Amino acid sequence: MKLAITRAGLIRAGVFFLILILVPVVGGPGWLLNTLIFTIMYAALSSSWNLLGGYAGYPSLGHVAFFGIGAYATAIIFTGSVYGGYAPFFVLPLIGIAVALFSIPIGWVSMRTRADVFAIVTITLLFITQTLAFNLKNFTGGAQGKSVAPAPFDVSTYDWPFYYAMLILLAIAMGISLYFRRSKIGLSLATVRADEDKAHGVGVRVTAVKLIAFAVSAGLVAMVGGVWAYYVGFIYPQFAVDPLITIGMVLMAFLGGRGTLWGPVLGAFILVPAQEYFAQAFGASELYLLAYAAVFLVIMLFLPRGILPSISERLKRRRASAAGAARDSANAAPTAIPTSEVKAVR
Amino acid sequence: MSENLLEIDHLTKRFGGVTAVDECSFTVQKGTITALIGPNGSGKTTAFNMITGYLKADSGEIRFNGETIARPRPADLYRRGLSRTFQQARIFPELTVEENLVVAAGYSWRQLFGRRVSEIDRERAKKMLGEFRLEAMAQLPSADLSYGQRKLLEFAAVLMSDPTLVLLDEPTAGVNPVMIDAMEQHIRQRHAAGVTFLIVEHDMQLVMRLCDPVIVLDHGAPIAFGSPDLIQKDTRVLEAYLGS
Ligand SMILES: Nc1ncnc2c1ncn2[C@@H]1O[C@H](COP(=O)(O)OP(=O)(O)OP(=O)(O)O)[C@@H](O)[C@H]1O
Ligand SMILES: [Mg+2]
């Protein structure tokens, strides 16, 4: 795993964010900014999901619950009648922290299970949250939906604040992702993902790092939900707690590469535009979902670990075989420990 | 002078109809390299699993360092100085060789939020890697190691916490003769530095030259205990290995 912050890495991130910062200023077709807002939103969601699902190896299928909670928190604090302005953006960190704290007991209970059981438990979380959104009518408006305070932004640049808010959240999610990788949190999470029982046996603070990953991941997702609610202006339980959003963030991380920094971002930048395109091509029918699934299937068949890990694996193998050829001809010195070993055990 | 570092008292574990460990009692004295031997399926690994908190005992008691361990938990025991390796070496293949050592070295809450591998971590790991002659591989993914090297790495990793008692489950099974010698050297070195060992091992020559005393387990209970010479002459032991 490459962990040092290299110049190439800095340049890559710099160019990526610079281009995205400049897009609204430079302008383009009307649909571009809207599509990009959702692409960046999913990149942020998937990057946040990856902190838990990728680094810790706990594939939550219920993360949209926190998205919905963030969305409703924003809608409840800034109801349709009050004047919103920029205030909803400034309240986001509080929502993020509150949801992160709230998620700790949920994480503690659900992460007593593993792998497929954990996935099922978290799906339950999704449906409980959606049911609550439907039934707590006093707070959520139930099936009638709930309006969020109108955003008083200029028509010509209406999308800009939402766009930049999403971009900042993506930068934060990626920053935390990078921080995890470079700290003992990431090192500990890697042991949890590889062999949790053994991790206990060498004194890794397993429960603590799992909860840190869960809470940070949930808090970030809630903040994205808050921006989304303010952007769409009117939220319904079936859209704020939509299983498709969960599936989206999971698929994008799988596609680009779980447990990598750029994988979820890459996944989002492939799948969201693809989805938009198919939705246009096939009209309002749900057929576009089939096309969407097909894209995913094809890539996973050829690159089962996701795009980035598969590519780096291939590069590594090519480099290793080149190095191996060089070594053979140079007649390398023997290593201290013989590498030829009897591998079989009973 | 002898002091019991580990005391096992009437430990029992059943798997359905099979009683894997049956009212098993033995002690490990401080400063020894004690062997735990017995035919396949005699309950050695199961005993290890209960002692180190990986498996809940049906009944019985475990005392370590004079304290009764009411609910043995792997992480607690490791921090208290009781560590183990597994019959099938368990390392973290995605991590580098160095990181495998660093993560096992223990760290404070503050360090959890600090650098993945700090300079101090690196120094400590380097010392251990030097002892195990794995320095050249420090930055390799540990997935690249051979089976024998993995066993060495797992052993080196559990030593990072400066344990007082190390349980090794078949440290030389499936590794080549050169590696068996290396493993023996490392055990002797650490033993000289004050570490107590409890070793499950099938290589009888190794057991006879390295360990004293030897505990023989059969059907989940000790049938003999004593010096290697005594054990070799014990008729019950011969029967257990040859008969039934
Ligand atoms: N998880 C389990 N479930 C059911 N039976 C088990 C389990 N673990 C061990 N056993 C049984 O318990 C008995 C003791 O097994 P154990 O692995 O402790 O033996 P061992 O002495 O370590 O043998 P070996 O020398 O082959 O490693 C065996 O009969 C085994 O089949
Ligand atoms: Mg065994």
Look at B146 and A335 and tell me if their CB atoms are within 8 Å: no
Cα(B82) to ligand 1 centroid in Å equals 22
CATH of B1-81+163-244, one of 3.40.120.10, 3.40.50.300, 3.40.109.10, 3.40.50.720: 3.40.50.300
Instruction: Indicate whether A339 pLDDT > 70.
Output: no
* CB A45 within 8 Å of CB A65: no
How many beta carbons lie within 10 A of that of residue A206, not counting itself?
Answer: 21
Confidence at residue A327, expressed as pLDDT on a 0 to 100 scale:
56
Q: How confident is the model at residue A336 (pLDDT cuts 50, 70, 90)?
A: very low
Q: Residues, chain B, total?
A: 244
Q: How far is CA A174 from the centre of its chain?
A: 9
Assess contact for A271 and A292: CB atoms under 8 A: yes
Q: Return the bridge partners of A183, or none.
A: B115
At residue A331, does pLDDT exceed 50?
no
Indicate the pLDDT class of residue A297, thresholds 50, 70 and 90: confident
Interatomic CA distance for residues A199 and B33, integer angstroms:
26
For β-strands A234-235 and B165-169, DSSP reports them as unpaired
φ/ψ bin of B38: left (φ > 0), alpha (ψ from -120 to 50), beta (otherwise): left
pLDDT at B3: 87
Query: Reduced to 3 states, what is the DSSP secondary structure of residue B114?
Result: coil
Q: Could you count the other beta carbons within 10 Å of the beta carbon of residue B163?
A: 21
Residues 6+ away with beta carbon under 8 Å from A181: A1, A3, A55, A261, B116
What is the length of chain A? 346
CA separation for the pair A211, A217 (Å, rounded): 10
Residue A187 has pLDDT above 50, yes or no: yes
The DSSP secondary-structure symbol of B12 reads: E
Using CB atoms, which residue from B79, B103, B116 is nearest to A183? B116
Task: Give yes or no for residue A340 having a pLDDT over 70.
Answer: no
CA distances from B172 to A257, B44, B177, B182, B221 (A): 38, 15, 9, 10, 24
CB atoms within 10 A of CB A205: 21
What are the sequence ranges of the domains in chain B? 1-81+163-244, 91-162
Residue B86 CA to ligand 1 center (angstroms) comes to: 13
A200·B74 Cβ contact <8 A: yes
Q: CB within 8 A of A160, min separation 6: which ones?
A: A24, A153
pTM: 0.90
Which residues of A lie closer than 8 Å to B, measured between beta carbons? 1, 3, 181-188, 190-191, 193-195, 197-206, 208-209, 335-346
DSSP state of B3: -
Do residues A62 and A242 touch, judged by C-beta distance below 8 A?
Answer: no
- H or E stretch covering B23: strand B18-29
The answer to which of A3-17, A244-258, B144-158 has the lowest mean pLDDT is A3-17
- Ligand in nearest proximity to the CA of B240: 1
The whole-chain average pLDDT of chain B stands at: 93
- Give dist(CA B116, CA A188) in Å, integer: 9
pLDDT band at A332 (very low <50, low <70, confident <90, very high): very low
Phi then psi dihedrals of residue B118, to 5 deg: -85, 175
Of the candidates A194, A206, A345, the beta carbon closest to that of B174 is on A345
Q: Are strands B214-218 and B221-226 parallel, antiparallel or unpaired?
A: antiparallel
Q: How far apart are CA A100 and CA B36, in angstroms?
A: 49
The tokens describing A309, both together, are 């890990």
Residue B31 per-residue DSSP state = T
Q: Are B207 and B229 spatial neighbours (Cβ–Cβ below 8 Å)?
A: no
pLDDT in tens, B103-152: 999 999 999 999 999 999 999 999 999 999 999 999 999 999 999 999 99
Nearest chain A residue to B40, by CA: A346
How much is the pLDDT for B97? 97
Strand partners, B12: B59
Q: Can you give the pLDDT at residue A157?
A: 86
If one compares A150 and A285, the residue with the highest pLDDT of the two is: A150
Name the strand (E) or helix (H) holding B36: strand B33-37
* Token reading at A168: 């900042």
**Nearest atom, ligand 1, residue B42 CA:** 21
Closest residue of chain B to A198, computed from CA coordinates? B90
Amino acid in position B74: P
- B95-116 CB burial, b ≥16 within 10 A, e <16: bbbbbbbbbbbbbeeeebebeb
Give the dihedral sign, CA A223/A224/A230/A233.
Answer: negative
pLDDT band (50, 70, 90) for residue A316 = confident
pLDDT value of position A155: 83
| Closest of B151, B191, B139 to residue B29, by C-alpha | B191
pLDDT in tens, A188-227: 999 999 999 999 999 999 999 999 999 999 999 999 999 9
Task: Label each residue of B163-219 as H, E or C.
Answer: CCEEEEECCCCCCCHHHHHHHHHHHHHHHHCCCEEEEECCCHHHHHHHCECEEEEEC
- Rounded-to-integer distance, Cα B168 and Cα B188, Å: 13
Mutation to test the B interface, candidates A202, A204, A341, most B Cβ within 10 Å = A202
Output Rg (C-alpha) for chain A, integer angstroms: 22
Give the SS3 label for residue B241.
helix
Which residue's CA lies nearest to atom 12 of ligand 1?
A: B20
**What is the ipTM, given to two decimal places?**
0.92
- Best residue among B8, B13, B14, B15 to mutate for probing ligand 1's pocket (most ligand atoms within 8 Å of CB) is B15
Counting as low any pLDDT under 70, the low residues of chain B are 1-2, 243-244
Which residues are paired to B216 by β-bridges?
Answer: B37, B224
In this structure, are residues A45 and A244 in contact, taking their beta carbons and an 8 Å threshold? no
- Between A298 and B8, residue with greater pLDDT: B8
Q: Chain A neighbours among B 70-109 (CB < 8 Å)?
A: 73-75, 78-79, 83-84, 86, 88, 90, 92-96, 99, 102-104, 106-107, 109
